[in-house]
Structure 1
Amino acid sequence: MLERLQRRLGLQTIPGIFFTSAGIAILFVALAIPFDEQVAGAFGVLTGWVARNLGWFYILSVSSLLIFLFGLAVSRYGSIRLGSDDSRPDYSNLTWFTMLFAAGIGTILMFWGVAEPVSHFASPPFDGVKAGTEQAASDAMTISLYHFGLHTWTIFAMPGLAIGYFAYRHDLPMRISSLFYPILGERIYGPLGWTVDVIAVLGTLFGVATSLGLGTLQLNSGLNYLFGVPTSGLVQVLLIAVIASIAATSVALGLDKGVRRLSQLNIVLALLLILFVAAVGPTVFIAEGMVQSIGDYLDALPWLAFWTETFKETDWQRQWTLFYWAWTISWAPYVGIFIARISRGRTIREFVAGVLFAPTAFTLVWFGVFGLSAIDVESGGLVDLATQVENDPSVAIFAFLEAFPLAEVASALSVVIIVIFFTTSSDSASLVIDMLTRREDQPSLVRQRIFWAAAQGVVAASLLLAGGLDALQNVITSLGLPFCLLLLFMAVSLFRALRADYRGYDVTELVQGRVFPEVEATPTQVKQESDYVS
């Protein structure tokens, strides 16, 4: 039936993945719009249950994956390449690093670069720390780096490493299901593999929709500051429609003409904004603070990585750490595939070191410039940032820029950066989702990519109408759990494949825990997928 529907619509997909993912997304929107309060309440209850009973699982999982990646890098497997033994990287180190820190972090840094440090500075989460003190400032920077540093990039690096390994070294399709070949064998081409890919598609869809929703809140605040545009649900839905339209146009143009040019432009604009704040802000304070923040972060990381608020009855960790981990996990398929595509030929050791430390260094600079400057502004009483952030974190960066010369120009530049960041996130995610829902021998149709770009906008609008920021946090915290489980199984599958690889076996010889010396079937045979589809 799905095969006939696909032919009638003129699509090029794996029907079991495409129609299941699209159907669940459509069902969510159909329920969220007329029953917004009930949907918001249901996800609120679900998120509360996850936070109370499985918050420790998120914390333990991400920290364990970080240790796992470090272990791989320093182990005997660290010299294995993402490709054949004689392959070499496609990009120079400088180009690779530039592309890495441009992948997937601009959206969240623009929203939280000022809001998070100021929030923790004004309301410290640790007992015995008074607001506005030196210790509160130090803790605020440490927590921010914890949320956006090594742990965030562990979540991205895990699928990126696994995808690159299985795709380039063993010629498996660049889909999440391929990572489970050592566990599922040829069943990755059937319903079990499709289930894994559906989870990846939905995670990407809702993760990017959450970012689009947050970006819309921030964009609405910027336009209100610059032009007096009212802050309302109607305006936010219209903004989503505009951004989705731009993203659809970009995704129709393709990777080189659309995504690449917008990404290059936005990197330049973001660097200009950083240099502007660093130059007109407290430059020496920023430099000193960044150096100290490195030490504070490394000192606190071992215990902070396993901190679960066991002896406190608060909602802080759900609102911050669990939300971040779930949000980042939902982005993992999208960013992981992007990182894998630019990392062919690198050793596992090079990959882990580069993906974990290069973007973390950029994050340190970003929070050093914006976070430390915001703390300085708040401490000096130039702008009451804490109150504004508490009321609406989306206004943080615009309220912050009021303390500097050329505030309106800088705010206008921020609005442009926000629009492009979310446009590039949306169109890149549309390309990745389309890749996850079709075979490698099938062409990427423009209408399929446009459908996914539009779906992101519609889901984002539904989430905003269902409760704004709280709804975004609740939905993503709940939906991040299935892919968190996939990440753990991914690590097990990768380790099994690496162990067989090191002993001289091919991954096609590793099925259900046994190694077969002779296997005729090649995992890239498209016929296998065609047979399942038929």
Structure 2
Amino acid sequence: MEQSFNAHKKRVAIKSILILAIFIAFLFALPEKTGELFKFFQSWIGEKFGWFYMSSVAFFMLILAYCGFGRAGNLRLGKDNERPEHNFFAWGAMLFCTGMGIGLVFFGVAEPVMHYLSPPVLEGGTDEAVRKAINISYFHWGINAWAIYCIVALLISYAAYRKGRPIEMRSALYPLIGNRVDGWIGDFVDTFAVLATVVGIVTPLGFGVMQINSGLNYVMDVPQSLSVQLVLILFISLVTCASLILGLEKGIKRLSVFNICIAISLMLFVFVVGETSYILNATVENVGDYLANLIPLTFETYSLSNPQWFQGWTLLYWAWWIAFAAPTGLFIARISKGRTIREFILGVLIIPVGFSFAWFSIFGNTALDMIHNQGMSELGAAVMADSSTALFKFFDMFSGWTVIGYVVLLCIFVFFITTADSGTMVINILTSRHEDKAPKLERVFWVVLVSGITGVLLAVGGMSAIQSVLVVLGFPFALLVTIMCFGFVKSIALELNAEKKGSLGSQVDEPNSHTPSLDTKPQQEVPRFSQLG
């Protein structure tokens, strides 16, 4: 059994490395042709299957609503008497810092301003455009987006902690195909997850290094060049290796808590020093607009008004979230053992979504107030010219304090570390028999590989190509997760039915009645809820 398990992990690692090597070889030899090919597939998928992306996310939300507010919400991700491994604050910090944290810092000012100046169906620069800008930003970073992460994490957590399967992507297929997940089908699924994880790390790392370089140029006059970006990648890699060697508790967890405190401090600074009453009034309107338009926006493809905008914004986001759901979902599953399904769903949706809304409400509304009401049009021009410097330009005009720029740089840097940490941990889980406690050499190898790929992409100008790859990977992954959901619902229904029969049997006091447990562990280790006080 141990040899088979080791072979399974090695197969996934070898296949992943070979595919990545082939891709990088083609990209290095033919960067333009490779980029054009993936952009063609990105455009084709967006044109032909945009409806599927939107429908699948709506389907995921229905599954989560069914589990979160029904009897399934009482089931615990683990033994029935098990409790969470991490306290609520640390868990929430890791949820946010390993998901969308870095993207939120990048787009917190830039996206609302861009939607205000260039909205999908309205005239830019109007009062209505101000409201719609925040509403669209909420939608792209709100419940729909985190529902994608949540459903993947829930599928894996349920299979791992209720059914005794490993924390792997393939485990979510177990309710449908049984032990066949241990064969080539499972290898394909886990290899796909490794590839999606690598691409999911490389994409924000590459664009983020360029943002850090832009920030250093803005704050310290450091030149924007490939050599500076490569040095930054090397430095980030060294810190990531150190954090991974320290492990989950001493590395990622501490960095996540530290960085969420920095992010909260930046928000409080803008909230207190800025137009507080305007922010509060605007936020109330923003939340009301979002809730009123949530269902219409969930199914909006702009097919009759502005399909190009839809493909360049909403569809790109959905594909990005779905592709990145592999590493994020696996990591969330890793840190969520012991929570009930209801607590898990509400926590994963409310904590990061609430923080995202607060971030956009404070930074986005303040930026729009500066442009629309205070006439600081140069902020809008700067954002449209280079979105990577949006947050630095914002703080420069907001306070004029140079020190804030250094704090922003630190926040961005630590977000990159936690993103790279969590992604590399997921790769180790999928490719090492020691999982997240893989030997130091294995942890360092994957960091070096990811960093090397990022450096090559920056050198050959392939970042746009890797972004297209992420969108292309999102389509088959959305299809795969949709299939997994049917198996999950089936397994949940069987378990709840068995639980109900067990409860009825105990009520009529039939000493010989026995409902077999669906858990792979012995029944005495996982008592039924009807047996609990």
TM-score, with length taken from structure 1: 0.88
Corresponding residue of 1:508: none
Contact 1:280–1:404 under 8 Å retained in 2 = no
Corresponding residue of 2:33: 38
Equivalent residues in 2 for 1:64-79, closer than 5 Å: 64-79=59-74
Q: 1:464 aligns with which of 453, 458, 468?
A: 458
Equivalent residues in 2 for 1:388-467, closer than 5 Å: 388-439=382-433, 444-467=438-461
Cα distance between partner residues in 1 of 2:150 and 2:457: 28
Cα distance between partner residues in 2 of 1:248 and 1:343: 24
Q: 2:17 aligns with which of 5, 9, 22?
A: 22
2:41 corresponds to which letter in structure 1? L
Deviations 1:10-60 (A, max 9, x none): x99712100111111122222212321111111111111111111111111
Question: Bigger shift: 376-385 or 316-325?
Answer: 376-385
Corresponding residue of 1:211: 204
Deviation at 1:288, TM superposition (A): 1.4
2:323 corresponds to which letter in structure 1? S
Q: 2:147 aligns with which of 142, 154, 169?
A: 154
Equivalent residues in 2 for 1:283-322, closer than 5 Å: 283-312=276-305, 314-322=307-315
Contact 1:29–1:458 under 8 Å retained in 2 = no
Question: Bigger shift: 442-451 or 429-438?
Answer: 442-451
Contact 2:139–2:290 under 8 Å retained in 1 = yes
Contact 2:256–2:418 under 8 Å retained in 1 = yes
Cα distance between partner residues in 2 of 1:521 and 1:273: 46
Cα distance between partner residues in 2 of 1:441 and 1:399: 42
Question: Bigger shift: 314-323 or 177-186?
Answer: 314-323
Contact 1:81–1:345 under 8 Å retained in 2 = yes
Deviation at 1:144, TM superposition (A): 0.5
Cα distance between partner residues in 1 of 2:296 and 2:516: 48
1:502 is aligned to 2:496: yes
Corresponding residue of 1:142: 135
2:80 corresponds to which letter in structure 1? D
Evaluate the alpha carbon distance shift between residue 191 and residue 521 of structure 1 in structure 2; reply closer, same or farther with a 3 A threshold.
farther
Deviations 1:327-360 (A, max 9, x none): 2122212222222233223222222222112211
Equivalent residues in 2 for 1:325-340, closer than 5 Å: 325-340=318-333
Q: 1:251 aligns with which of 237, 244, 247?
A: 244
Cα distance between partner residues in 1 of 2:464 and 2:117: 21
Q: 1:133 aligns with which of 107, 126, 135?
A: 126
Cα distance between partner residues in 2 of 1:389 and 1:321: 19
Deviation at 1:258, TM superposition (A): 2.5
Cα distance between partner residues in 2 of 1:520 and 1:84: 12
SS of residue in 1 equivalent to 2:119:
coil
Question: Bigger shift: 50-59 or 436-445?
Answer: 436-445
Cα distance between partner residues in 2 of 1:466 and 1:42: 16
Give the superposed CA RMSD: 2.7
Question: Bigger shift: 482-491 or 16-25?
Answer: 482-491
Cα distance between partner residues in 2 of 1:118 and 1:490: 38
Cα distance between partner residues in 2 of 1:521 and 1:473: 40
Evaluate the alpha carbon distance shift between residue 218 and residue 405 of structure 1 in structure 2; reply closer, same or farther with a 3 A threshold.
same
SS of residue in 2 equivalent to 1:384:
helix
Cα distance between partner residues in 2 of 1:409 and 1:468: 34
Contact 1:12–1:438 under 8 Å retained in 2 = no
1:477 is aligned to 2:479: no
Cα distance between partner residues in 1 of 2:230 and 2:452: 9
SS of residue in 1 equivalent to 2:144:
helix
Question: Bigger shift: 205-214 or 382-391?
Answer: 382-391
Deviation at 1:459, TM superposition (A): 2.6
Equivalent residues in 2 for 1:82-161, closer than 5 Å: 82-126=77-121, 129-161=122-154
SS of residue in 2 equivalent to 1:104:
coil
1:82 corresponds to which letter in structure 2? L
Percent same amino acid at aligned positions? 38
Q: 1:353 aligns with which of 341, 346, 356?
A: 346
Corresponding residue of 2:482: 488
Deviations 1:398-457 (A, max 9, x none): 111121224321111111111111011112211111011133589611111112112222
1:374 corresponds to which letter in structure 2? A
Q: 2:43 aligns with which of 31, 48, 63?
A: 48
Alignment gaps of 5+ in structure 1: 506-516, 525-534
Cα distance between partner residues in 1 of 2:92 and 2:420: 22
Deviations 1:247-290 (A, max 9, x none): 12322332233323322221222122112222222222111111
Deviation at 1:180, TM superposition (A): 0.6
How many residues are matched?
A: 505
Cα distance between partner residues in 1 of 2:207 and 2:326: 20
TM-score, with length taken from structure 2: 0.89
1:484 corresponds to which letter in structure 2? A
1:385 is aligned to 2:379: yes
Evaluate the alpha carbon distance shift between residue 437 and residue 15 of structure 1 in structure 2; reply closer, same or farther with a 3 A threshold.
same
